[in-house]
Chains A and B, each alone.
Chain A
Amino acid sequence: MLRSSQPLTGPNRKRCREDEMLLGTVLDEGERGFIIDTRSAQAAKQARMTGGGTEPKSSYPQWKRLHRPLERGRPLQESFIKLVEACNDTSINVDRWLSRLESSRWLSHVKAALSTACLAAQCMDREEASVLVHGAEGTDTTLLVTALAQVILDPSCRTLEGFQGLLEREWIEAGHPFHLRCARSAYSHARLKQEAPLFLLFLDCVWQLSRQFPFSLEFSERLLLTLFDNAYASAYGTFLCNNEKERRESTHSLWAWLNQPGEKKKYLNPLYSHNALVIWPSVEPQSIQLWQGLFFRWIRSSQYLDEAWAEIQQLVEGN
């Protein structure tokens, strides 16, 4: 699986031999590959006007392009804000709640992200074909897809250590601009242009996987919540800045802290058992639920669920 940003085809349909060669070397003679473009076909076409574009079939004959538009940027932030508002609104009547939830479109975004990641995974696992994922910049929805696809495909990404490695590779080193994206979160009036909760969307998708495959992830929901917190405000430098170049070395790593034996056990899933297979989630609407642990975190007590987890922990440890 490869990732990149959009090719700079531009309005004059520029070509680039080196780029074509690079992609050419990935595939053997007669093999085909898939390009998953996270923009709609129309948006991708329009990008040409501003110097971007898509890979033309003639120049990249072995690659088939698939468009799977995923929301990003302002609309995604608005979706997030709307959802949080809905969750906080104590005046909603029960017979309006679902439509309010729906109008935020957050769950639709979760469904789309999971579906696209599954598609990428399917190309690789079932079609045994290589996949190139890109959107426009290659820093947002691209990373969402590649990271999620790896959780689906690769059991080592589902261990605590492996997941941290995945985050390092696919989000931090890959240059997701955390500083811009995770600036103020949902309550701020600032409505910053560059703000967008892609990372949260990723965590939500991982949470959906943990619900559908309760035994397959070594880490618990608590880790996901901690990561969410730290992406926005952290004592550690892991999610600081926008890319490797900007990041200074003079901060402490979140991973170092999390991995201490005392801390680590808080983030483990007591039901975990290594699953060597690919985990294919259901993306039917019934299978996708609102992440109550995050969105209602401060609204209602999780006491009863926490007690249940404590019971589970005890049962498993007692054994």
Chain B
Amino acid sequence: VENVRLLDRLSSRKAALGTLYLTATHVIFVENGSEARKETWVLHSQISSIEKQATTATGCPLLIRCKNFQVIQLVIPQERDCHDVYISLIRLARPVKYEELYCFSFNPKLDKEEREQGWKLVDLSEEYNRMGVPNNYWQISDVNRDYGVCDSYPTEVYVPKSVTAHIIVGSSKFRSRRRFPALSYYCKDNNASICRSSQPLSGFSARCLEDEQMLQAIRKANPGSDFLYVVDTRPKLNAMANRAAGKGYENEDNYSNIKFQFIGIENIHVMRNSLQKMLEVCELKSPSMSDFLWGLENSGWLKHIKAIMDAGIFIAKAVAEEGVSVLVHCSDGWDRTAQVCSVASLLLDPYYRTMKGFMVLIEKDWVSFGHKFNHRYGNLDGDPKEISPVIDQFIECVWQLMEQFPCAFEFNERFLIHIQHHIYSCQFGNFLCNSQKERRELKIQERTYSLWAHLWKNRADYLNPLYRPDHSQTQGTLRPRMAPCNFLYKFWSGMYNRFEKGLHPRQSVTDYLMAVKEETQQLEEELEVLRERLANLQKSQLNDNKVKSKRQDRSKELGLSTSNNSLANTPQEYSNDLKSFPSRSPSQGDEEDSALILTQDNLKSSDPDLSANSDQESGVEDLSCRSPSGGGCLPSEDSGKDSDEAVFLAV
């Protein structure tokens, strides 16, 4: 469709004119005229909702909201075209079969072996070995090898040595969705462990010998402690209500030597609404400080983040400081349980704070343990009540920790943002379906590519320059303060306002420091080489001079400078009610970065996934600074707000 306008969210007066394309996998907007041929690509998988607003004199507005928090506002001249686009997008954004997803057509031009190698990068059995199992206390069990015991669990699980297949099967019958207690993390220093399960089907008074034996075995697998914590991450009221449905929680009287604890994280519906409310705050036009803070508090989002974090801290403390094992569950053991176990592991074990370790962590606690990616993130069209930002919250917990402990993580914020992006993008096969079983049935590893391999290949972009394996922050357990720590949770504008360029610092400190680090390294290596040579040669005088001039040239070559040009920005609208001079566009003057790093390698030939939806930190700044529009402003685009006829579709 031609002559479509792409509006800037912050300034309704600024718009780009271009052509809109719909392909099998993307929506693409190509701007007219600019020599750079600026393009905006959006994957259908990313589309969360499409809103068609009432036609005005200037055209028919269409609002596309994405799961990665990008919001695209288009104005299509003909109502007929707009309707067609709308209907098409609805269909395209609601795939019915897995085969419609991008990962099955995405082609990074790797051969079969490379694809396989990519999938092998993260190996869970290696990980369990690293932890120290199997050993005298823990064994690997293949009782679930055909998914016969629990279809959402992996084929291989770790259970206490003393547990027999009979006990596992018995316990699984007493657990919601058959998700029996299994090992998530083992601390070899003190034998304490974190196990996970779903809620017991205890109702008001039911008991199960095998389940009780299972818990006892877990406790005994830690000789250093005479009791076991059982942590129910639900609010007490919810857990109690579950009893009426024949489920519930562990009765301390029935299970020997357990200490039961509620931690009170709300359910997926509350979280979905919380995010919704927070995004509404983000969409406010020119909010006051008051609007923003009230809105943010009202959404409750940061409160939930804190709840998850507190649970993780409690468990990490139990394991590291008290040396007590913990069994964690929620209702079905695949949402809050995953969040809390992975936060706790991250706090406990510095390995998970490395890039590789983090990938392993997600693979272990989310992918292998059957977190329902498809239902939660809408790979396919499904029940909107299943959608919930569960892993987003975990990822945010990691970011909050990174803000508190800037030296403790090997990876940077961009790494987290890209992972979140790809959970929704379906460009890679890692996060498809709801369980390992389903993925194997679909032969995901033979038909798609692994995100981990892709990120690993580009790992230089994801490093944190402040990380040093020998730094004190990277050793041992992380101990975030629990109180008073209300104010330590910040709003993550890098994620929720990711595409609003004006909001973020123009230049990335991370990228600058990485460049400095690299240059220093190169210079040091060079110095070494030259030193050796110096030692070997006779004529030290002559070589001295050579060394000096070489070093100078090198640093010029590397062009390391935080040269001013890249900092050019334009003022936003500081004077909303001012009519005396034309309002300026917010700091959007700069060209957007060309295709994000992810697309700059050989993926260029296939569909770039994020070109022009670049985030601030790619470090490849366009140096031009467009001057803001002068008198010839486009008429106000506020028409959409007045009508009651917005046709709203939640995908």
A residues with CB within 8 A of B: 64, 66, 87, 89-90, 92-99, 101-102, 105, 107-108, 111, 115, 118-119, 121-122, 126-127, 211-216, 271, 273-277, 279-280, 282-290, 292, 296, 299-300, 304-305, 307-308, 311-312, 315-316, 318-319
Contact = CB atoms under 8 A, between A and B. Distances in A.
B290 A108 contact: yes
Question: Sorted from nearest, which 9 A-B pairs have the closest CB atoms?
Answer: A285-B292, A308-B406, A98-B297, A273-B562, A102-B293, A280-B571, A97-B486, A108-B289, A286-B493
A213 B561 CA distance: 16
B69 interface: no
Nearest to B568: A277
B293 A107 contact: yes
B288 interface: yes
Interface string B31-51: 000000000000000000000
B512 A304 contact: no
20 contacts: A66-B580, A95-B303, A97-B486, A99-B297, A102-B294, A122-B575, A126-B581, A126-B584, A126-B628, A213-B506, A216-B567, A271-B512, A273-B561, A279-B567, A280-B571, A282-B587, A286-B292, A288-B289, A300-B481, A304-B473
Contacts of B567: 213, 215-216, 275, 277, 279
Given A280-B570, A286-B491, A286-B497, A271 B473 contact: no
A299 B488 CA distance: 12
B571 A122 contact: yes
B572 A283 contact: yes
**Interface size, B (range):** 35 or more
Contacts of B282: 286
B502 interface: yes
B337 to A, nearest CB: 22
A13 B407 CA distance: 63
Nearest to B523: A319
Given A98-B293, A287-B493, A289-B490, 12 more contacts: A108-B288, A111-B288, A213-B505, A280-B570, A285-B291, A286-B292, A290-B487, A304-B404, A315-B465, A318-B520, A319-B516, A319-B560
Main secondary structure of the interface of B (DSSP, over half): loop
A296 B290 CA distance: 21
B489 A94 contact: yes
Interface in B549-579: 560-564, 567-572, 574-575, 578
Contacts of A290: 487
A110 B503 CA distance: 16
A285 B293 contact: yes
B520 A319 contact: yes
Interface in B459-474: 465-466, 468, 471-473
A64 B580 contact: yes
A312 B297 contact: no
Contacts of B493: 286-287
Contact of B507 (A96, A214, A276, A316): A214
Contacts of A127: 581
Nearest to A32: B580
Nearest to A311: B466
A131 B587 CA distance: 23
A127 B378 CA distance: 49
B52 interface: no
Contacts of B292: 285-286
Contacts of B580: 64, 66
B519 interface: yes
Contacts of A118: 571, 574
Contact of A214 (B300, B497, B509): B509
B487 A87 contact: yes
A286 B504 CA distance: 9
B306 interface: yes
Contact of A307 (B297, B306, B472): B472
Contacts of B578: 66
Given A94-B489, A95-B303, A311-B468, A285 B569 contact: no
A319 B519 contact: yes
A119 B571 CA distance: 9
B622 to A, nearest CB: 15
Nearest to A95: B303
Nearest to B519: A319
Nearest to B497: A286
B547 interface: no
A215 B290 contact: no
A89 B575 CA distance: 36
A304 B503 contact: no
- Find the residue from B282, B293, B560, B587 having the highest chain A CB count within 10 A: B293
Nearest to B517: A315
B483 interface: yes
Contact of A284 (B296, B297, B502, B512): B502
Contacts of B507: 214-215
Contacts of B516: 315-316, 319
B302 interface: yes
Nearest to B282: A286
A211 B493 CA distance: 14
Contacts of B181: none
B263 to A, nearest CB: 14
A90 B407 contact: no
A92 B486 contact: yes
B487 A97 contact: yes
Given A215-B562, A286-B491, A304-B404, A279 B289 contact: no
Contacts of B303: 94-95
Contacts of A122: 571, 574-575, 584
A57 to B, nearest CB: 13
B302 A94 contact: yes
A93 B290 contact: no
Contacts of A95: 297, 300, 303
